[in-house]
Structure 1
C-alpha cells in the first residue's frame, strides 16, 4: 500500500464516519415551567421524607416487633423489618432517579482527550465547571430538597447500624455447632410432613429429605426452627455393593446412607443427587460429594466431606439415628478441632 492509498483510506473513513457532535439540547418541561419544577421538587422532597419515615419505622419494628419464639412471630418480625427497610431504601432510590431526570442539568458536554496530568489552569477550569453545574441544577435554590435528602441519607444507615450494634455481646457460643438434636433412638421423618420412614419402603435410588421426629407441638417453636436448620439430612438408598470399602462401618443400613444437607463450604443446602454417579451437588458453588464414598469431595471449593448420620432400624422397622453426626456440621469455623 502506498502512502497515497493510506491517506485516501483515512479520508474515506473520515467521510464515512463523521463526528456527530453534541445533540441539540431539548429543554424539559421543568426547564421552562417554574411551576412544574416546583412540583417535582416537592415530589422528590416527599419521597425523601417517606424514606426517612421508613427508617424510623424499621427501628421501631426492630425493637417492638421481636420474635416471640414461634414461627409466626419470626415471620412477622422478618416481614416488618423487610418492608420498612425497603420503603427507606426505595424512597432514596426513586427520589434520586426523579431528581436526575427532572431537575438536574441534562446538557451534554464534550472534552477532548489529553494527558492525565492537568495544569493548574485546567484544575481551576474544572472547579468553575462544577460550580456552574451546581448553579445550573439549582441546588442552592432548593433548601427543602436539600433538607429532605440530608434527612433521608443521614437516617438510612441506622437501619443497618442499630441491629449490628445491638447484637454486640450476643450469643457467640460456637460450640452449639458441634451438636444437633440427633441422638441415639431419634427416628427419621420426611421433611416437611413429619411422616416416619420405614427402611422397607425405600427402593434403590430413593432420595428423601429428612428431619428428626419431634412432637407436633414443638414444630412451631423458634427453638425447633433453629435446631431443624442444623439437623436437615439427605437420605439415599444405594445398592450395598456400590458402597466403597472405606465407607464408615456401622453408619449405614442395607445401603441406606444419611448425610448432612449443609455444605461444608459456606453452608448452602446440598440436595441435587445424580443417581448414576452417586454424586451430590451443591447448587451454590458446585461442590460435589460422592455419596458412595463417604461423601468425599470430588470437585469444587469444599474441603471436607459431608458429616454422616449413623443410622439403623428399630424393632418396628423404622429408621433411627444411632448417634449425632460424626463431626460438626456446616462450614469451618474458629475453635474447630478438625
Structure 2
C-alpha cells in the first residue's frame, strides 16, 4: 500500500463519526405509576404461580408415587411434568417480564481498558450496580421481592425431594444376572404379544421378541423393568452361514436369538444388515456379527451380545431352552468384562 493510499484511507475514516446511542425511549411503566403497579402485580402473580407449581409437584410425588401399574406410573409422570413446567415457566416468564418492564433499560457504554481497572473505575462499577439494584425496584417492592425469593427458594425442592426419596432404593445387583426367560417359555412378538412359530420365520427376517406372559402381568409396573432386560432380537440365517461354535445347539434351523441390550451402555441394538449379518447399535455404533456369536467387530462394546438358547415345542412354537447364559447389558462393579 502506497503512502497516498494510506492517506486516502485516513481521510475516509475521518468522514465517519461515532453515531452514539439512539435516543432512549421511555416505557409505559416509566411514565405511568399505575402501569408500573399493574406490571408489578403481574410479575408477583407469576412468581406465586411458580410457588404453586412447586407445591403441586411435591403433592403429586407423594399422592401419586411412580410405582404400581402402568397407568399409575403414567399419571405420576404427567403430574410431575406439569408441576415442574409450571414452576420453571413461572420463574422464567416472571424474570423476563420484570426485566423488560420494570428494571432499568438505560444503555450504558464502557470504554475498553486494561484488564485491571483503576480503583476509581471499580468504585464506579459498584456504584452503577447499586443504582441498577435500586432502579429494579426490588428494595421498595416488598411483595414482589417476597414472591421472587419464595419461588427461587422452593423450586429446588422439586428435585431434592424425589432424589432423597430414591436414596434407599433397590441396590440388589443380582437382578442384572437373571431375566424372565426360563425353560419352555414361548417367544412372542413385541409389542403385540403374538406367538412365533419357526415356520413363520423366513431367512433374512428379523423379529423383536419378548417373553410370553399374561396380559395382567404386562399391565403391571414390574413388567416395564423386566421387559427392558428380556428384550431379544431374533434372526434367521442359512444354517451354513452360522460360523460360531459358541452355544452350539442353542439355535434352531438357522434361527438365533440375542439380547437387544448393547454391552456398551445398554442402548437397544436393533439395526440389522442382512448382507453382512451385522447388528448395529445406533447410540455409539458398536457392531456385532450375528453369524459369529454376536461378537464385536467395531465400536466401544467389549463383549458379545448374550445369546438366548431356543428350540421349538410340540406345537412348533419357538421357546427358550433357558435364561441367557451370562448377564445382559453393560458392565457393572461386580462384572468388569
Contact 2:244 2:293 in 1 (8 A): no
Uncovered stretches (5+) of structure 1, i.e. residues with no partner = none
Contact 1:262 1:306 in 2 (8 A): yes
CA gap of 1:119–1:197, structure 2 versus 1, over 3 A, is same
Contact 2:244 2:291 in 1 (8 A): no
Q: 2:76: which partner in 1?
A: 77
Per-residue deviation, residues 51-86 of structure 1 (Å, max 9, x unmatched): 111111111111111245211122122212121122
Aligned length: 337
**Displacement after TM superposition at 1:9 (Å):** 3.5
CA gap of 1:108–1:218, structure 2 versus 1, over 3 A, is same
Contact 1:67 1:74 in 2 (8 A): yes
User: Are 2:28 and 1:26 aligned?
Assistant: no
Distance in structure 2 (CA, Å) of the matches to 1:10 and 1:177? 76
Q: 2:270: which partner in 1?
A: 271
**Displacement after TM superposition at 1:20 (Å):** 4.5
Per-residue deviation, residues 154-195 of structure 1 (Å, max 9, x unmatched): 111001111111222221111111110111211100111111
Q: 1:5: which partner in 2?
A: 5
Q: 1:55: which partner in 2?
A: 54
Contact 2:203 2:236 in 1 (8 A): yes
Distance in structure 1 (CA, Å) of the matches to 2:106 and 2:245? 72
How high is the TM-score relative to the length of structure 2? 0.92
Q: 1:178: which partner in 2?
A: 177
Q: 2:138: which partner in 1?
A: 139
For structure 1, which segment, 301-310 or 152-161, has the greater mean C-alpha deviation from structure 2 after superposition?
Answer: 301-310
User: Are 2:189 and 1:190 aligned?
Assistant: yes
CA RMSD, 1 decimal: 2.1
Mapping of residues 95-134 of structure 1, within 5 Å: 95-134=94-133
For structure 1, which segment, 264-273 or 308-317, has the greater mean C-alpha deviation from structure 2 after superposition?
Answer: 264-273
CA gap of 1:323–1:104, structure 2 versus 1, over 3 A, is same
Distance in structure 2 (CA, Å) of the matches to 1:60 and 1:28? 40
CA gap of 1:308–1:108, structure 2 versus 1, over 3 A, is farther
Contact 2:252 2:311 in 1 (8 A): yes
Contact 1:247 1:292 in 2 (8 A): no
Q: 2:304: which partner in 1?
A: 305
Mapping of residues 138-177 of structure 1, within 5 Å: 138-177=137-176
Per-residue deviation, residues 116-151 of structure 1 (Å, max 9, x unmatched): 122222211110110111122222121111110100
